Structure 1
Amino acid sequence: MRVAIPCSDDRGLDSHVSQHFGRARYFLIADVDDGIRNVRVVELPFEDHMPGDIPRFLQSLGVNVVITYGLGMKAMGFFESMGIKVISGAMGRVGDVLEGFIKNSLILDTDWRSKEEFRGHHHD
């Protein structure tokens, strides 16, 4: 399966998960099964974006799963309508997050929605 993770910079597996999906400029894309393969970092091809632009971009890259810290309900809805699974609350080094995902031991911050910067996003 192909996974996308929003990154704080372009250092790949050594980058950290961006705290806010919609503000990330870089995404790590990797194929995962029992290991991590075909790792690459892509920069968004647009500066500003409208709702749905990032989900459509990631879908065009064949992404099946998005692992992120926080994101808005509109983005979540777009991914859901595209059949792309979203795992939220992931934090830390991207390589560690991918390893945790593969080993089914990923630790998530289930309270991310209560953080100040996400309060205006109308989460359920």
Structure 2
Amino acid sequence: MVNCKDMWDEELERLRREKLEEMLQQSEKEGGEKLKERIVVPTEDENGLNARLSEHFGRAPYFIVVDLNEDGTVANVQAVPNESEHFGGFGRPPDCILQLKPNAVITYGMGPRALSIFQSKGVAVLRTNASTVKEVVEAYTKGLLEELTEGCHHAHHR
């Protein structure tokens, strides 16, 4: 017997992955400066560089993806909705973010499981006290952010 819910879930996951891949392809530059790094920042809104950081990493409604050129200038900014299991979708937030192929995730803090997942995949997790993505990018390009070495065990990370 065919389970319609499973088929629907699989189709939604396929479409989500296609959309992420399309967004990644759009962010690659043709010619010009080479892209250096990609950072991901959990936010409360989808306002690009002006987006406000989310207090809770895994429950952030959006992740702002910032591609940087070799000289540290911003090449591309895009908002990606958090479609993890926390928002009725699939997978844990770190798994969803890893599909974006970031070099670093910058946040107020995160739980130990998420931190461990990123560390095991070689993705830097950096701590910030900035209020907006623009402030995060400025601190990141100046080398002012410190590595997050411990996950916190409560919902309020700031």
Paired residue total? 114
2:5: which partner in 1? none
Question: Whose radius of gyration is greater, 1 or 2?
Answer: 2
Unaligned 5+ segments in structure 2 are 1-36
The Cα RMSD (Å) is: 2.6
In the superposition, relative to structure 1, how do residues 72 and 107 fare at CA in structure 2: closer, same or farther (>3 Å)? closer
**TM-score (normalised: structure 2):** 0.63
Unaligned 5+ segments in structure 1 are 119-124
* Residues 1:84 and 2:120 aligned together: no
Cα shift readout 1:62-121 (whole Å, capped 9, x = no counterpart): 11100001210111001111111100243311111111110223489xxxx598835xxx
Measure the CA separation in 2 of the matches of 1:82 and 1:40: 23
Cα shift readout 1:27-61 (whole Å, capped 9, x = no counterpart): 000112421111100002241478x6211111111
Measure the CA separation in 1 of the matches of 2:115 and 2:92: 12
SS class of match (1:55): helix
**TM-score (normalised: structure 1):** 0.78
2:80: which partner in 1? 42
Measure the CA separation in 2 of the matches of 1:116 and 1:65: 21
2:20: which partner in 1? none
* Residues 1:96 and 2:135 aligned together: yes
Measure the CA separation in 1 of the matches of 2:89 and 2:118: 15
Q: Is the 8 A contact 1:19 1:91 kept in 2?
A: no
Decide which of 40, 51, 54 is 1:18's aligned counterpart: 54
In the superposition, relative to structure 1, how do residues 115 and 43 fare at CA in structure 2: closer, same or farther (>3 Å)? closer
Measure the CA separation in 2 of the matches of 1:31 and 1:6: 15
Cα shift readout 1:3-44 (whole Å, capped 9, x = no counterpart): 000011111111111111011010000112421111100002
In the superposition, relative to structure 1, how do residues 3 and 10 fare at CA in structure 2: closer, same or farther (>3 Å)? same
Q: Is the 8 A contact 2:38 2:65 kept in 1?
A: yes
